Structure 1
Amino acid sequence: MRFPGTDGDRYPYQEKVVSYLTAYAARLDAEIRTRCRVAAVRRTGDGFEITLESGGRLSARVVVTASGAFGNPHRSLLPGLEHFTGQVLHAADYRSPDALTGRRVVVVGAGNSAVQIAAELAQTARVPLASRVPVKFTPQHLLGRDLHFWLTRTHLDAAPLGRLLSRPPAQPVLDDGRCRTALTAGQPDRRPLFTGVDGAKLLWSDGQREEVDTVLFATGYRPDLPYLATLTGGLDAEARPRHREGLSLSVAGPGFVGLEWQRGLSSNSLRGVGRDADRVARRLVAYLAGR
């Protein structure tokens, strides 16, 4: 289903995305149950039993997990942070700079969310941007067209590179020049990660001790799939699904759609998830036919 009402060089507002998804759902020949959280998925003799948090149960011959890769805000394990007496937030909690105006806020991360939040906060607060690695930028426009246009035109968007990766790679900051300019001007101030915590003070590698009001993590997300822990070998030690191109490596029958780098760069985006869904559906149909 094509996305309506946009040209190739503009990003739609959230209201248009919601309207698109609502219209898409309305045309599906499927029963859709909302507010119906899954508690556990267990293997049975001829398929799976799905237990709901409400206590109800469903049965199925195959199960596809399509809940995305952004359900679990990730906070890096940093030395002494459990003893920090200030406020600890994640980018998922951030809405606007208003609540943090005039405060000392350390933003942790080196990706788009970290840099954009830090640059916005730096206009009304004192903000260091702390990360393990330097911030890398890539221009949002090349030869007059948006980078995503070129990713689609060159087919890099759909290239099956996911099978070559043990974990999703770090992404450079997609920037139109404003964030790079702000970082160059020290607004925010880029630093290596702090090395320790003493109450409300952070300890930096140069020996400086600095009192801080808030540490804000912009360190990404992980899939939120605790209901698959009941499938032996379904998740790895970091609670990531064990799969290859969307099919489970441990149990026959489960599939995945919408994971970061499931098959390629666009696997967890609206423009790429359809390709993966088609591939996973065909392979699951072949599995059922074989049984």
Structure 2
Amino acid sequence: MTDRVDVVVVGGGQAGLAAGYHLRRQNLDFTVLDASPAPGGSWQHMWDSLHLFSPAEHSSLPGRLMPAQTGETYPDAGHVVDYLADYEKRYDLPVQHGTRVDAVRHDGDQLLVEADTGLWRARAVISATGIWSRPFLPAVPGRSAFAGRQLHTVNYRSPADFTGQRVVVVGGGNSGAQIAADLALDGQVEVTWVTQREPRFLADDIDGRALFDVATARRRALEEGRSDTGGVASLGDIVAVPPVRAARDAGLLVAKPMFTRLATNGVRWADGGHTVVDAVIWCTGFRPALAHLAPLNLRTAPGHIPTDGTRALGDERVHLLGYGDWTGPASATLIGVGRPARDAARQIKALCAPK
């Protein structure tokens, strides 16, 4: 049996829910297929100490302000999960959890969505699968020979898992700095933080509110044909959230240049030195989870589907939402995904209108 809808949204995290909100406002028939068994998207899997960069009122999806979390200026990940679950319920969004989409294929003037629970035919598809399910590990010499523990950002939970151990944290972005700070401030872990280049901290007074304003200003400049301001990347790589500031100011967050290779029991440095370590945490980023779109042959380069806003250039029926600035400025953030979700829904409404 094949279900028919106007739109299938693949992914039920923050981007998928924002898409659902705006599709409902356009009176389109849609379903949201989400591989996770429960609401909350990737926020369900964050490390214990993680907090947002912004206060609750500046971290909201369209139509519903995130309530403040008692005792916290910056809400933690659990609060975000509760907010997303409430958002899904409040707007009665048709999310089917525990449904993995394997492929999207051409089917005449429609698209055929193949999932592990059945088939859907749709006039358009919004891919909102994000990046969390595709952690990236660099090809560092000796990685397969290292006998200690290796894990990625997605597997990290708390310093308690490394008490009494020597840990190397790799990565000069927010996750690397925050996890290194989390371990260092615990006091029970010997931490070495390594980065490819000198860490670039944003000014201490910059949080998610300011970053969204910067991304918005860049979008407007580009739309008006003015010079590219560089956006958030021009300011730095690491938001100085309170734990990062505390560790940095205490001298606990000093990065070393990247090691040259892994040995059986540790890391080797460019000067020939060797440090014995028990674990390596790779905070080395992610790749977009786009394998389900492979049958449509939309890629022109490895890992990248060209878009105009959210719309795939190779097929106007396909929209990509929430993967980063290439699918809408700040679209990978809670507050930033609303505008590109609205634009995608409007374009799909026009596509579905009687000719």
Fold match (TM-score > 0.5): yes
Q: CA, structure 1 residues 178+38, in 2 after alignment: closer, same or farther (shift >3 Å)?
A: closer
Q: Is the 8 A contact 1:162 1:262 kept in 2?
A: no
**What amino acid maps onto 2:272 in structure 1?**
G
**TM-score for the superposition, normalised by structure 2:** 0.70
Give aligned-pair identity as a percent.
32
Q: Is the 8 A contact 2:150 2:279 kept in 1?
A: yes
Q: Is the 8 A contact 2:182 2:243 kept in 1?
A: no
**What amino acid maps onto 1:281 in structure 2?**
A
**What amino acid maps onto 1:173 in structure 2?**
I
Q: Output aligned runs, 1:154-165, within 5 Å.
A: 154=213, 156-157=215-216, 159-160=218-219
Distance 1:86 1:107 in 2: 13
Q: Return the offset for 1:289.
A: 3.3
Q: Return the offset for 1:169.
A: 5.1
Distance 2:75 2:244 in 1: 21
Q: Is the 8 A contact 1:266 1:272 kept in 2?
A: yes
Q: Say which SS state the counterpart of residue 230 (structure 1) adopts.
A: helix
Residues 1:76 and 2:138 are matched in the alignment: yes
Match of 2:207 in 1: 147
Gaps of 5+ in 2: 1-62
Distance 2:84 2:257 in 1: 41
Q: Output aligned runs, 1:157-196, within 5 Å.
A: 157=216, 159-160=218-219, 172-176=237-241, 179-180=244-245, 182-183=247-248, 186-196=251-261
**TM-score for the superposition, normalised by structure 1:** 0.84
- One of 261, 265, 271 as aligned partner of 1:200: 265
Match of 1:288 in 2: 352
Q: Return the offset for 1:279.
A: 0.7
Match of 2:122 in 1: 60
Match of 2:43 in 1: none
- One of 12, 15, 37 as aligned partner of 2:75: 12
Distance 2:240 2:192 in 1: 19
Q: Is the 8 A contact 1:65 1:257 kept in 2?
A: yes
Distance 1:101 1:282 in 2: 52
Gaps of 5+ in 1: none
Q: CA, structure 1 residues 78+231, in 2 after alignment: closer, same or farther (shift >3 Å)?
A: same
Distance 2:214 2:242 in 1: 26
Match of 2:179 in 1: 117
RMSD value over aligned CA atoms?
2.9
Q: Say which SS state the counterpart of residue 224 (structure 1) adopts.
A: coil
**Structure 1 residue ranges, 4+ long, deviating more than 6 angstroms after superposition:** 161-165
Deviations 1:122-177 (A, max 9, x none): 22122111111111111342xxxx6333445x564464279979xx9595211156
Q: Say which SS state the counterpart of residue 62 (structure 1) adopts.
A: strand
